[in-house]
Amino acid sequence: MLDALVRTLKWVAYNQRELIRTGFDSAETFQVELILPSYNERGSNHQVRFSKRRVAFFWNPEHFAEFHKARPEEIDVSSSYGFLKPYFGDESVFVTSGSGHAPAKQAVYRTIRQHMTIEADDLMFFSYSVLERFPTGVYPALKPIQEVTAAFLLRTVFDVQGSAATTTIEHAIAAAGNASGTFLILPDLVRWTRRWGVGLAIRRQRLHLRHFIMDQLQGMLVAHNWVDETPEAARTEIIDNLMTLLIAGFETTSTTIAWLLYELASNNDLQADLRSEVSERIRENPLDYFADDKTLLARTVQETLRLHPSIPFIIREVKAPITIGGVALRASDYAVLSIEEMHRRGFDGGTRFDPSRYQTATNLPKLATFGGGAKICPGRAIAVQQCRIIVSLLLAKYLIGTTDKTRSYIARNRVSATPAGGMLLKFDRIQ
């Protein structure tokens, strides 16, 4: 027990990604025992019980496939994301488990298909947003990138812009920034601490976002009074899923773009080649260019999704005994699937940023950046488009460089691969 306690403190205090990496250096899969709080909610009574639980780590793509194929009774896709409820809401597709997951997912796909198409006037709006938010100078690029990507989602899903959008963006950025990766290892902890009011700030932001979403729905659906006519449970599901789209849809994409700009800022030749391609193809037909998978732009985005997956690992809770990768998992064990290590260990020269690998090599392993199976990311196509568009517009307008203070490591224990210091870069406007 003491051993597990010491190990738990180490996992909370140290850099978890580093611990995972060194663990895989000596074995393809490994397990650690941690003391984790279990949380039961019975009416208004909360019970917290600490117990030893095993966490098993995997990176091999074949093991990932086995997880994605497992039955929901064996591996519950969402149960380990309970810690995200304070941000997304109890009915969000991200946290609904069992039979509630499939309908919530269909609803999310429907929303994405209905709203998230990119047209010529969206590009004008983007172009304007980029110029407005990126002054010449040296500053952390992540913040303006987040503002532009969040503005994109607000425009496409809710069809709003202007000051309402600006305040909402600020709240969404703060809410997403609150989610700490420590809770991925201790998933019950947030739920437990909510009891003591620790999540007050989070709840305030969530309330603001909910009001915003409610107002928008009222405005959109004036033809009938949706609040009176939609049952309470369905209303909650709609709002929670829109909130999930709003937060899940910009945090991950903006992190990817920040790392992509870092790679371009560190490689002047690649930056110049990409700028030439962008100038030529945007003049011809921008929408065709962004949809084309064979361009240098597409390869550069793909390589960023490989080397800098914005969700470095995903987590699953085991519900019934199952053997994966030779590891006999027991009910209540956790499994961590390290996307980041899979992408580094599964590719030749995996730690090198090299967009040309997709040109020269065939039969490369498939990327796991967007997960797989029942929980695969429903926003993956739009995320790729968003990265291609924002990077192109930035390259057309700015020379991007690093400074001696630019840091290329991930802030410790975040949910997404947030660059430390918000990715300090230098932007020079091209006249």
Binding residues (CB under 6 A) for ligand HEM: these are 93-94, 105, 108, 112, 244-245, 248-249, 252-253, 256, 309-311, 314, 369-371, 375, 377-379, 382-383
Amino acid at position 286, single letter: P
Give the nearest distance from C-beta 369 to ligand HEM in angstroms.
5
Look up residue 330 and give its two tokens: 């027991």
Closer to ligand HEM by CB, 69 or 195: give it.
69
Q: Name the burial class of residue 411, with classes exposed (0-12), middle (13-18) and buried (19+) by CB atoms within 10 angstroms of its CB.
A: middle
Give the nearest distance from C-beta 371 to ligand HEM in angstroms.
3
Closer to ligand HEM by CB, 106 or 166: give it.
106
Cα 220-94-410 angle, rounded to 5 deg: 110
Closer to ligand HEM by CB, 244 or 295: give it.
244
Give the nearest distance from C-beta 228 to ligand HEM in angstroms.
28
Nearest Cα neighbor of 304 from 243, 342, 354, 245 is 354
Give the nearest distance from C-beta 408 to ligand HEM in angstroms.
18
Q: Which residue is nearest to ligand HEM (CB)?
A: 379
- Three-state SS for 91? coil
Closer to ligand HEM by CB, 61 or 249: give it.
249
Closer to ligand HEM by CB, 136 or 293: give it.
293
Residue 132 has a CB neighbour count (10 Å cut-off) of: 12
Look up residue 231 and give its two tokens: 């049952």
Q: Looking at the chain, how many residues does it have?
A: 431
Helix (H) or strand (E) holding 358: helix 357-360
Closer to ligand HEM by CB, 199 or 378: give it.
378
Give the nearest distance from C-beta 149 to ligand HEM in angstroms.
8
Give the nearest distance from C-beta 195 to ligand HEM in angstroms.
25
Per-residue b or e along 314-336, where b marks 16 or more CB atoms closer than 10 Å to that residue's CB: bbbbbbeebebbebebeeebbbb
